[in-house]
C-alpha cells in the first residue's frame, strides 16, 4: 500500500525545483551558488489597465469603424507618458494621450486598452545550495546537502538563521517571557505555543524563524500574519514534537539553517527545515510502500507525535478502541509498547 | 454516437477522490447487473506522485485479489474488452473530484437573474466563483478587466439575455471578455462557456474562438422567470473534465479509453439522484448527500428534476472552509462527552492537515460525528436557501461518504444523518457504503438498466425506515399508540411520546405492518396529507425508528442535559460511543 513519507534525515541530498507561475526570466545560471533568500527567477505580472473608448472620446460611429481611423497606435506598441493614442483632425484637433508609460495590449471596437508598468513577482531559492539545472523562462533546480526535517504546516514565510534551542523537552511551551533579546535574528526551536503574544514577540525581536512541534489552532491568524517563518512538525493542539525531529534539531544548535514554511497541500508543498552540511547524502525516497521494520510516525490521539517500528500490516480490517474498523498495522513504540494504529494515521520516516 | 452498455457484461468504474481512489466492478449475475467488489487505495493525484496511475493500480490489485479476476495485463494495462478466459472488462467509466478547484469568473447581465443563475451553475460542481461581473457593475471597464486578470480563471462563464431577448448588453460583455483575453498570454487564456441568449451563440463563438476555446451550452435563463441549469450543467461537466485532464497527471490518457465522458463525481451523483427520482414516488422526491473529504454534495430529485449543490466543505481539507465561518458551538453542541472548544478546534484543524486520518479514541470519533452533523445541516440549509420551495420529506434518503460509512455502528450513521438533515414524514435511509452512486450516475446516461438493477440488489445498506411525525405537543406528552403486526401474525404494541427517538422491534430484513393511533394532533406524513395510519415496512440495520424530537430539532441549552440527551438517543439506536 502507498505510504505517505515524512523526511527526517540527518544527511540527504536535497533537490528542489523552483518554478514561476507563468513564463518570465531566470536570474541564475548553472553551477551558481545561491542562498535561501536569493531570488532565482522573476515574472512580469500584468500591470493595471487603462481603457480609452475612442469612439466616445472622439466620436466615430456605433461600430467604432470611424474611431479606428483616429487610433494611431497598434497592439504591442510601447508608449511613454504623453504619447498620442488617438487623434481626430480638424481645425482644433482633439488628442487622447497616454497617462503613463505602458503597452497597448488590445484594440477592440474603437477602444484601446493600455497596460501600465507590469508588476514583478520573484521566486526565491528557499535553501542554500547550487543551481544544477535551469528551465528557460520558468525556473531552476537547486541541490544542497544537509539534514532535512519536514513539517506539516507552515505560515508561508521563508528565512534562514542560527538555530537556538529554547525547548529542552518536545512539549516545552514558548511564551513571550521565554523569548528574550539574545534570540534576536535567530531561528528558535520550541515545543508548543498557545499564546498570541509569543508570536507577536517573535515579530518584535525579530526572530528569523520559529520551529514548533505544535500550536493552538487559535494562533493561526497571528502565525499567518507573522513576518518570520513558523513551521509545525506535528500540527494543532498540544502534541509533542516527534523524537526524531526533536533530537536532530536540538543537537544542531548554533548551526545555520534554512526554514521554508511553505504550505500548499493542493500542490503537495510541505514546509521544511534544511541544515546545510558539507557531507553528501542520498536523494530521499519519495515513493514507498508499508513494510515491516520501517520507522513510522503516528498521527492522531492517543499516540500523536510518537514514533515506532512497523511490525506488520494486519490483513483485512481491525477494530479500534472506539469500535471503528480500519486497515491497520502493529507498531512497537519507542518505549517497546505494542500498539495497533490505522494505516491512514502512519507516515514512514525516510 | 452513444454506445449502449446494455449488452456489456462488465463495467469498471474509477472514482478519483482527493484522498482515496476507488475502483468498482459491476457485472451481470444471473442476467442482472450487480456490484461485485471494490478496491481502494490512497489517491496519488497529488505530490509526490502527481499521477493518478499508481493509485488506480494499487486499487486494481486489491480488486483483483478480492475477486480473483485478472483485470490488468503484465504490462499494467487494463484488459479491455473482457476475454473468453474471464479476464478483463468491457467498459470503463470515470468520475473525479481530485484536482484543484475550478476557478470561474461569471459574467452576466442582471445580478439577480442571469448572474445569479451562472453562480448557481458553478455551485453544482467543484468550482469557485473568483470574480463576477454584471451589466450594472459600477467599476470602470479597465478595472473589470484587471479583476478578471487577477482572478486567473480557468473558465469564464458568460450568461445573459433571454432567448430572442437582449443582444446589445451581451455584446458589451463579450467586448469586455475579448479585452481580457487579448491581454492574457495565449497559453494562459481561460476557456469560455456561453450559456446565454442562443440567438447570439453562433456569432459569439466565431468572435471568441479566435482567441480561446469556446463551449456553447443551452441558455440557463431562457426567459426571465425560468431557470434551466441542468442542460448547461452537462456541458459544464465536460468542460471541467477537459480542464482537469490538463491539471491532473494521467487523467487525459485514462479519459481516452473511457466509455463515458469524464465528469465530476458531484454531477454524476446529482444525475443519479435525478434518475432515481423518476423511479420513486414523484410526489416525495429523493434526497442524496455525499459527505466528502474536500467537497460535499447534496442533491434533491423530484420527478426527474434535480436541485444540486456542491460545497467546499468536508471532513478533510474541506473542514478549513467549514472552520472559516464556524461558531465552534455549532459543532460542540452535538458532542455527547465534555470536550473543550479549544480541543475541538485543534482537532478539526488537525483533521484538515491529514484528511484520511481515522479516529481511534472515543473523543475523536465524537468530534468527527459532531462536525459531520454540522456540515450536513449546512448543506441542507444551503440547498433550501437556493430552492426555497423544496420540502424536507423525501423517500428515500441516500447517504454516501467514507466518513458516514466507516463508523462503528449503523446507529451512529443513522443518528448523524437524522440530526444533520432532520427529515420529516416517512422515509428510508440508505447508506452508500461503497461509494457507488456517482459511478452509477456516470453510467446511467448510457445504460439505464444498470443503476436500477444494482440499487435493487442490496448494494446499498438499508439503515432503516424512519418515521418523523410532527406535533406541537410538549416533551414527554403521549403522541402515538403504535401496533406492530409481524408476518407471523404476532403483534407488539407501544406508546410513543413527544421528544423521543424510538427504535421499533423489527429486525433487519423483517417485514411488518405498522399501525398508528394518534393520541393528539399529529402530522405523520405531510406528503400524503396525513391520511396515512397504517403501512408496511422492511426493517433495516437499525430496524425502524420513530423520531418525535420535533423539527427543527432543539437541543437543551444546559450542556450536561444536552450531552445526556444525545447519549440517550445514541443508546436508543444502539450506537452509543461512550
Whether the Cβ atoms of residue B118 and residue B108 lie closer than 8 Å to each other: yes
> Distance between terminal CA atoms of chain A?
16
Domain presence at residue B117:
yes
What's the alpha-carbon Rg for chain B, to the nearest Å?
Answer: 25
Percent share of chain B, pLDDT over 70? 97
Q: Average pLDDT in the B152-174 region? A: 91
Q: Average pLDDT in the B473-502 region? A: 94
Residue B530 — very low, low, confident or very high, per pLDDT cuts 50/70/90? low
Give me the number of domains chain B comprises. 3
Give the helix/strand (H/E) hosting B266.
helix B265-279
Identify the architecture of domain A5-43+123-276 in CATH: 3-Layer(bba) Sandwich (3.50)
Stretch(es) of chain A classified as CATH 3.50.30.10: 5-43+123-276
Of the listed ranges A63-72, A281-290, B177-186, the least confidently predicted one is A63-72
With H, G, I as helix, E, B as strand and everything else as coil, classify residue B407: coil
DSSP codes, A136-184: TTTEEEEEEEEEEEE-SEE-S-EEEEEEEE--SSTTPBP-TTT--GGGT
Domain presence at residue B3:
no
Alpha carbon separation from B159 to A109, A118, B143, B149 (Å, rounded)? 21, 31, 20, 19
Residues B546 and B425 in one domain: yes
Q: Does A23 touch chain B (CB under 8 A)?
A: yes
Stretch(es) of chain A classified as CATH 2.40.50: 49-116
Domain presence at residue B492:
no
Q: How far apart are CA B268 and CA B270, in angstroms?
A: 5
Residues B37 and B177 in one domain: no
**pLDDT for position A130:** 95
**pLDDT for position B3:** 40
Does the pLDDT value for residue B4 go beyond 50? no
**Residue of B249, B243, B242 whose CA lies nearest to B47:** B249
Phi first, then psi, for residue A236 (nearest 5°) are: -110, 145
Identify the architecture of domain A295-349 in CATH: Roll (2.30)
Strands A119-124 and A39-45: antiparallel
Q: How far apart are CA B442 and CA B496, in angstroms?
A: 43
**Residue of B406, B354, B351, B375 whose CA lies nearest to B40:** B406
Q: Average pLDDT in the A306-330 region? A: 95
Residues B153 and B61 in one domain: no
Q: How far apart are CA A261 and CA A232, in angstroms?
A: 9
Residues B371 and B416 in one domain: yes
Specify which residues A347 forms β-bridges with: A297
Residue B5 — very low, low, confident or very high, per pLDDT cuts 50/70/90? very low
What's the alpha-carbon Rg for chain A, to the nearest Å?
Answer: 28
**pLDDT for position A264:** 85
Domain end among B80, B98, B116: B98
By C-alpha distance, the chain B residue nearest A194 is B342
Q: What is the CATH number of the domain that holds B237?
A: 3.40.50.280
Residues B85 and B196 in one domain: no
Residues B68 and B138 in one domain: no
Q: How far apart are CA B328 and CA B343, in angstroms?
A: 11
Cβ–Cβ below 8 Å for B409 and A323 = yes
Specify which residues A155 forms β-bridges with: none
* pLDDT tens readout for residues A138-183: 999 999 999 999 999 999 999 899 999 999 999 999 999 999 999 9
Residues B406 and B344 in one domain: yes
Domain presence at residue B500:
no
Does the pLDDT value for residue A64 go beyond 60? no
Phi first, then psi, for residue B340 (nearest 5°) are: -65, 150
Helices then strands, each counted (H, E), chain B = 17, 22
**pLDDT for position A62:** 53
Domain end among B60, B78, B98: B98
Q: What is the CATH number of the domain that holds B59?
A: 3.30.420.40
Q: Which residues of A touch B18 (CB under 8 A)?
A: none
**Residue of B440, B454, B28, B178 whose CA lies nearest to A111:** B178
Q: Which residues of B touch A325 (CB under 8 A)?
A: 406, 408
Cβ–Cβ below 8 Å for A299 and B357 = yes
Distance of residue A210 Cα from the nearest chain B Cα, in angstroms: 19
Alpha carbon separation from B478 to B544, B562, B567 (Å, rounded)? 19, 22, 22
Cβ–Cβ below 8 Å for B146 and A48 = yes
Residues B314 and B393 in one domain: yes
- Lay out the sheet containing A78-79: strands in order across: A49-53, A111-116, A102-108, A78-79
Residues B283 and B359 in one domain: yes
By C-alpha distance, the chain B residue nearest A48 is B146
pTM of the complete model: 0.91
* pLDDT tens readout for residues B64-86: 999 999 999 998 899 999 999 98
Cβ–Cβ below 8 Å for A235 and B48 = no
Burial of B118 (0-12, 13-18, 19+ CB in 10 A): buried
**pLDDT for position A65:** 64
Q: At CA B381, angle to CA B376 and CA B384, rounded to 5? A: 125
Domain presence at residue B258:
no
Stretch(es) of chain A classified as CATH 2.30.30: 295-349
Q: Which residues of B touch A345 (CB under 8 A)?
A: 354, 357-358, 360
Does the pLDDT value for residue B1 go beyond 50? no
Domain presence at residue B484:
no
Q: Which residues of A touch B356 (CB under 8 A)?
A: 344
- Residues of chain B numbered 136-195 and touching chain A (CB < 8 Å): 140-142, 145-146, 149, 175, 178-179, 182-185, 188
Does the pLDDT value for residue B306 go beyond 80? yes
Domain end among B63, B98, B133: B98
Q: How far apart are CA A226 and CA A159, in angstroms?
A: 12
Domain presence at residue B255:
no
Residues B309 and B404 in one domain: yes
Q: Average pLDDT in the A88-98 region? A: 82
Picking from A49, A216, A269, the nearest residue to B346 by CB comes out as: A216
Whether the Cβ atoms of residue A139 and residue A18 lie closer than 8 Å to each other: yes
- Residues of chain A numbered 95-154 and touching chain B (CB < 8 Å): 105-106, 108-109, 111, 113, 115, 152-153
C-alpha cell at position B16: 478519483
Residue A22 — very low, low, confident or very high, per pLDDT cuts 50/70/90? confident
Domain that holds residue B176: 102-247
C-alpha cell at position A285: 525516497
Percent share of chain B, pLDDT over 90? 75
Residues B18 and B140 in one domain: no
Tell me how many residue pairs between chain A and chain B have CB atoms under 8 A apart.
157
Domain presence at residue B482:
no
Q: What is the mean pLDDT of chain A?
A: 92
Q: How far apart are CA A151 and CA A269, in angstroms?
A: 10
User: Exposure pattern of B162-187 as b/e (b: 16+ CB <10 Å)?
Assistant: bbebbeebbeebbbbbbbbbbbbeee
Residues B82 and B186 in one domain: no
Q: Which residues of B touch A102 (CB under 8 A)?
A: none
**pLDDT for position A60:** 59
CATH topology of domain A49-116: OB fold (Dihydrolipoamide Acetyltransferase, E2P) (2.40.50)
Does the pLDDT value for residue A117 go beyond 60? yes
Q: Which residues of B touch A236 (CB under 8 A)?
A: 345-347, 349-350, 353
**pLDDT for position B46:** 83
Amino acid at each position: 500500500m502507498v505510504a505517505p513519507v515524512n523526511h527526517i534525515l540527518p544527511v540527504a541530498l536535497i533537490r528542489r525545483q523552483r518554478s514561476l507561475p507563468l513564463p518570465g526570466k531566470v536570474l541564475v545560471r548553472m553551477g551558481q551558488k545561491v542562498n535561501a533568500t536569493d531570488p532565482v527567477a522573476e515574472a512580469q505580472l500584468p500591470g493595471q489597465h487603462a481603457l480609452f473608448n475612442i469612439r466616445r472620446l472622439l466620436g466615430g460611429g456605433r461600430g467604432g469603424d470611424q474611431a479606428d481611423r483616429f487610433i494611431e497606435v497598434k497592439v504591442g506598441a510601447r508608449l511613454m507618458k504623453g504619447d498620442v493614442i488617438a487623434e481626430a483632425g480638424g481645425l482644433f484637433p482633439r488628442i487622447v494621450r497616454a497617462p503613463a508609460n505602458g503597452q497597448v495590449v488590445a484594440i477592440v471596437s474603437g477602444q484601446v486598452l493600455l497596460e501600465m508598468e507590469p508588476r514583478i513577482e520573484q521566486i526565491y531559492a528557499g535553501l542554500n545550495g547550487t543551481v544544477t539545472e535551469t528551465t528557460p523562462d520558468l525556473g531552476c533546480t537547486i541541490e544542497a546537502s544537509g539534514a532535512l526535517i519536514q513539517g506539516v504546516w507552515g505560515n508561508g514565510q521563508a528565512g534562514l538563521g542560527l538555530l537556538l534551542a529554547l525547548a529542552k523537552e518536545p512539549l516545552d511551551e514558548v511564551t513571550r517571557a521565554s523569548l528574550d533579546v539574545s534570540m534576536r535574528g535567530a531561528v528558535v526551536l520550541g515545543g508548543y505555543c498557545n499564546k498570541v503574544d509569543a508570536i507577536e514577540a517573535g515579530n518584535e525581536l525579530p526572530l528569523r524563524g520559529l520551529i514548533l512541534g505544535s500550536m493552538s489552532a487559535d494562533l493561526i491568524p497571528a502565525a499567518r500574519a507573522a513576518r518570520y517563518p513558523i513551521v509545525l512538525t506535528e500540527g494543532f493542539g498540544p502534541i509533542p514534537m516527534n523524537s526524531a525531529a526533536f533530537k536532530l534539531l536540538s543537537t544542531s544548535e548554533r548551526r545555520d539553517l534554512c526554514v521554508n514554511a511553505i504550505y500548499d497541500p493542493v500542490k503537495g508543498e510541505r514546509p521544511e527545515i534544511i541544515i546545510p552540511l558539507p557531507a553528501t547524502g542520498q536523494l530521499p525516497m519519495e515513493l514507498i510502500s508499508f513494510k515491516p521494520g520501517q520507522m513510522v510516525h503516528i498521527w492522531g490521539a492517543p499516540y500523536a507525535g510518537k514514533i515506532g517500528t512497523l511490525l506488520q500490516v494486519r490483513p483485512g480490517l481491525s477494530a479500534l478502541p472506539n469500535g471503528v474498523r480500519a486497515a491497520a498495522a502493529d507498531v512497537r513504540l519507542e518505549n517497546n509498547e505494542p500498539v495497533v494504529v490505522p494505516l491512514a494515521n502512519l507516515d514512514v520516516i525516510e | 454516437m452513444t454506445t449502449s452498455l446494455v449488452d456489456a457484461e462488465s463495467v469498471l468504474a474509477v472514482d478519483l477522490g482527493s484522498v482515496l481512489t476507488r475502483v468498482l466492478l459491476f457485472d451481470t449475475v444471473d442476467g442482472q447487473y450487480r456490484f461485485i467488489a471494490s478496491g481502494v487505495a490512497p489517491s496519488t493525484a497529488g505530490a509526490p506522485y502527481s499521477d493518478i496511475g499508481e493509485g488506480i493500480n494499487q486499487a486494481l490489485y486489491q480488486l483483483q485479489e478480492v475477486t480473483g479476476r485478472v483485470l490488468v495485463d503484465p504490462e499494467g494495462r487494463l484488459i479491455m474488452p473482457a476475454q473468453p478466459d474471464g479476464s478483463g472488462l468491457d467498459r470503463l467509466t470515470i468520475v473525479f473530484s481530485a484536482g484543484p478547484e475550478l476557478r470561474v469568473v461569471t459574467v452576466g447581465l442582471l445580478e439577480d437573474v442571469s448572474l445569479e443563475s451562472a453562480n448557481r451553475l458553478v455551485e453544482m460542481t467543484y468550482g469557485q466563483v473568483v470574480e463576477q461581473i454584471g451589466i450594472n457593475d459600477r467599476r470602470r471597464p479597465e478595472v473589470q478587466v484587471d479583476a478578471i486578470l487577477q482572478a486567473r480563471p480557468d473558465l469564464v462563464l458568460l450568461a445573459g439575455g433571454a432567448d430572442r431577448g437582449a443582444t446589445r448588453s451581451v455584446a458589451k460583455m463579450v467586448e469586455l471578455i475579448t479585452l481580457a483575453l487579448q491581454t492574457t498570454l495565449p497559453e494562459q487564456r481561460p476557456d469560455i462557456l456561453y450559456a446565454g441568449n442562443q440567438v447570439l451563440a453562433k456569432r459569439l463563438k466565431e468572435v471568441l474562438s479566435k482567441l480561446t476555446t469556446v463551449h456553447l451550452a443551452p441558455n440557463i435563463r431562457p426567459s426571465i422567470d425560468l431557470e434551466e441549469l441542468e442542460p448547461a450543467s452537462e456541458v459544464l461537466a465536460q468542460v471541467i473534465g477537459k480542464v482537469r485532464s490538463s491539471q491532473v497527471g494521467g487523467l487525459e490518457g485514462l479519459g481516452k479509453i473511457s466509455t463515458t465522458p469524464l465528469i465530476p463525481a458531484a454531477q454524476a451523483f446529482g444525475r443519479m439522484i435525478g434518475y432515481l427520482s423518476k423511479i420513486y414516488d414523484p410526489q416525495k422526491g429523493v434526497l442524496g448527500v455525499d459527505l466528502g473529504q474536500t467537497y460535499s454534495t447534496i442533491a434533491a430529485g423530484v420527478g426527474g428534476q434535480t436541485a444540486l449543490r456542491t460545497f467546499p466543505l468536508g471532513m478533510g481539507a474541506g473542514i478549513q472552509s467549514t472552520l472559516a465561518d464556524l461558531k465552534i458551538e455549532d459543532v460542540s453542541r452535538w458532542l455527547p462527552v465534555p470536550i473543550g472548544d479549544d480541543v475541538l478546534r485543534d482537532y478539526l484543524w488537525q483533521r484538515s492537515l491529514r484528511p484520511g486520518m481515522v479516529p481511534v479514541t472515543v473523543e475523536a470519533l465524537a468530534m468527527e460525528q459532531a462536525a459531520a452533523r454540522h456540515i450536513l445541516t449546512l448543506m441542507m440549509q444551503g440547498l433550501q436557501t437556493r430552492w426555497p420551495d423544496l420540502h424536507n420529506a423525501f423517500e428515500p434518503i441516500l447517504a454516501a461518504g467514507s466518513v458516514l460509512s466507516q463508523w462503528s455502528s449503523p446507529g451512529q450513521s443513522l443518528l448523524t444523518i437524522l440530526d444533520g438533515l432532520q427529515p420529516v414524514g416517512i422515509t428510508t435511509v440508505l447508506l452508500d457504503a461503497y461509494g457507488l452512486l456517482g459511478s452509477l450516475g456516470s453510467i446511467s446516461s448510457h445504460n439505464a438498466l444498470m443503476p436500477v438493477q444494482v440499487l435493487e440488489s442490496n448494494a446499498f445498506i438499508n439503515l432503516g425506515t424512519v418515521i418523523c411525525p410532527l406535533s406541537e405537543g410538549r416533551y414527554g406528552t403521549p403522541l402515538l399508540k403504535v401496533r406492530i403486526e409481524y408476518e407471523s401474525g404476532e403483534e407488539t404494541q407501544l406508546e410513543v411520546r413527544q421528544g423521543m427517538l424510538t427504535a421499533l422491534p423489527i429486525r433487519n430484513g423483517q417485514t411488518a405492518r405498522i399501525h398508528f393511533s394518534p393520541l393528539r394532533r399529529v402530522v405523520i406524513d405531510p406528503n400524503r396529507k396525513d391520511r396515512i395510519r397504517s403501512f408496511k415496512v422492511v426493517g433495516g440495520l437499525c430496524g425502524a425508528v420513530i423520531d418525535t424530537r420535533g423539527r427543527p430539532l432543539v437541543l437543551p441549552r444546559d450542556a450536561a442535559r444536552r450531552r445526556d440527551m444525545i447519549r440517550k438517543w445514541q443508546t436508543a439506536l444502539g450506537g452509543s460511543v461512550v
